[in-house]
Amino acid sequence: MSEQFELMMTGGHPNSLGRTVEVVAAVLADRGQLDQLLACYSSDDEVVRLRVSSAMKRVTAARPDWTIEVMDQLQSEVAAIDQASTQWTLALLFDLTRELQSPAQRVRSVEIMQRNLAHHDDWIVLNNSMQVLHDWSLAEPPLALWLTPHLERLAGDRRPSVAKRAAKLLAKQCH
């Protein structure tokens, strides 16, 4: 079925969903197909990987308990994929499953987002990572201490969306 899913998510304009919604419906109708969806992350086609990320966001929003079952794979194999859409989606998946994660998974989620915030240059990766890290840091003072210098750095970013979000989050941290 992963070949079928990959075929369904191939082609068309890269910014379109293609048949992603159909794939999501198939997975939500049969939990057994989630592994087949995840297998598409190994596609050589970056558009397919982008659409897998889109599908995973939708599946996770509907069934975070299913995503938590594959969290270790997301935090290892998927986190190793050097593609912006994969990295910014991980931040969203981590946030959607926050309350279900084990302490070890939570630590790994924070490490992945910290790495992305410190070393990635994609504006969506930066925006999603800083937002989720900020939200999580409200209950974790050590995380807030780590985040502050990164927000200060990003408040001067050349891209308005990154700079504005960093400044906004920094202002919230100071209150």
pLDDT tens for residues 19-70? 999 999 999 999 999 999 999 999 999 999 999 999 999 999 999 999 999 9
pLDDT tens for residues 103-134? 999 999 999 999 999 999 999 999 999 999 99
Contact 99, 137 (CB under 8 A): no
DSSP state string for the chain = -HHHHHHHT-SS-TTS-TTHHHHHHHHHH-GGGHHHHHHGGG-S-HHHHHHHHHHHHHHHHH-HHHHHHTHHHIIIIITT---HHHHHHHHHHHHHTGGGS-HHHHHHHHHHHHHHHHH---HHHHHHHHHHHHHHHTT-HHHHHHHHHHHHHHTT-SSHHHHHHHHHHHHHHT-
Alpha-carbon gap, residue 34 to 31, rounded angstroms: 6
Contact 27, 59 (CB under 8 A): yes
pTM of the model: 0.93
Q: Give me the pLDDT at residue 173, please.
A: 83
